[in-house]
Structure 1
Amino acid sequence: MLHTMSTTVEPATDRSADEVNEEIRALWRRSGGTLSGEQREEYQRLVLEWAAAAPQPARAA
């Protein structure tokens, strides 16, 4: 049986990019600048959530 991984980014919550960014900063402060394996996974999840929540710049036509 094959399983496929979703490539779509779905934010865990409806938080703003600023709120997620603050959580990322807090994670780095708690870690002392070096992320463990578990913290790295949390960081990656947060970055994806931040990217999904960040306003997208308007494209020139």
Structure 2
Amino acid sequence: MSPDLVTSPGAVRSAAELNAAIRALWSHPQVPLTAEQRAEYERLCAELARVQRGDVTAAA
């Protein structure tokens, strides 16, 4: 996993940050993701869905 995609536990990323991280996983549209990249993609998509639903709140 790329170090710039790692955030501290409990940190809330914006939808734009999550979209950028998702796009960054693919170096080329026809290159398949590795198993590790696929797992990261699934985590990012789940986090994005939570942000879009408003299931997360920023720490005060």
TM-score, normalization: structure 1? 0.60
Aligned to 1:41: 39
Unpaired segments ≥5 residues, structure 2:
1-8, 55-60
Aligned to 1:29: 27
Q: 1:51 to 1:12 in 2, by over 3 A?
A: farther
Secondary structure of 1:28's partner?
coil
Aligned residues: 46
Secondary structure of 1:29's partner?
coil
TM-score, normalization: structure 2? 0.60
Look at both structures and tell me which one has the larger radius of gyration over its CA atoms. 1
Q: CA deviation at 1:13?
A: 2.6
Unpaired segments ≥5 residues, structure 1:
1-10, 57-61
When the two chains are superposed, the root-mean-square deviation of aligned CA atoms in Å is: 2.5
Secondary structure of 1:20's partner?
helix
Aligned to 1:17: 15
Cα separation, 2, equivalents of 1:17 and 1:26: 14
